[in-house]
Amino acid sequence: MPLMDDLHEPLEEKESSRRRFLSLCGAGALAAAVAGTGVVGFRYLSPNVLYEDERRFKLGRPGEFAVGSVTALPRRKLYLMRTARGFIAMSAVCTHLGCMTQFEAAGDRIFCPCHGSRYSREGRVTGGPAPRPLPRYELTLDKGFLVVDTRREVGEDFVLEVPA
């Protein structure tokens, strides 16, 4: 005859259900720990990059930019200019030590706040320690969109001529 506790449940059954409950809790905790470690490990081992080509991208349609305009794209570290001849895509990174430059519309120049390099709006050095002009990048017209490829530098005189 089994021993009975004060709730009249056999003690073996009560002990057995408590063991089962504790085993389930332990298994659940172990599964959560393994899953958490797996997720963290996967994220650690996965490269933290975007798989789209971030160095060749659309800038917009030519008609969106007025003649004489300078459009700063700080996230892309780029200037897009429209001159009377056409379009120029130019790096906004100072050639001295790599600070981000700023276009100053009032002075019609590009200025580096770090050590005072100055560039003309076409990117030629006009003062300060910058050793070279701001590089220009290949610009093409693809299906009606201006597309820049920042992997490909072009000469200082490159201008993408777009029919008006």
The residues binding ligand FES (CB under 6 A) are 94, 96-99, 112, 114-117, 128-130
129 versus 133: smaller Cβ distance to ligand FES: 129
Quote the radius of gyration of the chain (alpha carbons, Å).
32
Closest approach of Cβ 74 to ligand FES, in Å?
15
Closest approach of Cβ 105 to ligand FES, in Å?
19
73 versus 114: smaller Cβ distance to ligand FES: 114
Closest approach of Cβ 88 to ligand FES, in Å?
20
Element of type H or E holding 40: helix 11-45
Rounded to whole angstroms, the Cα distance separating 12 from 102 reads 80
Cβ count near 42 (within 10 Å): 9
Rounded to whole angstroms, the Cα distance separating 49 from 106 reads 38
89 versus 125: smaller Cβ distance to ligand FES: 125
72 versus 139: smaller Cβ distance to ligand FES: 72
Count Cα atoms within 13 angstroms, Cβ side, for 92: 18
Rounded to whole angstroms, the Cα distance separating 43 from 49 reads 12
Q: Which two tokens stand for residue 22?
A: 């504790």
Closest approach of Cβ 130 to ligand FES, in Å?
6
Closest approach of Cβ 108 to ligand FES, in Å?
19
Helix (H, G, I), strand (E, B) or coil at 126: strand
103 versus 145: smaller Cβ distance to ligand FES: 103
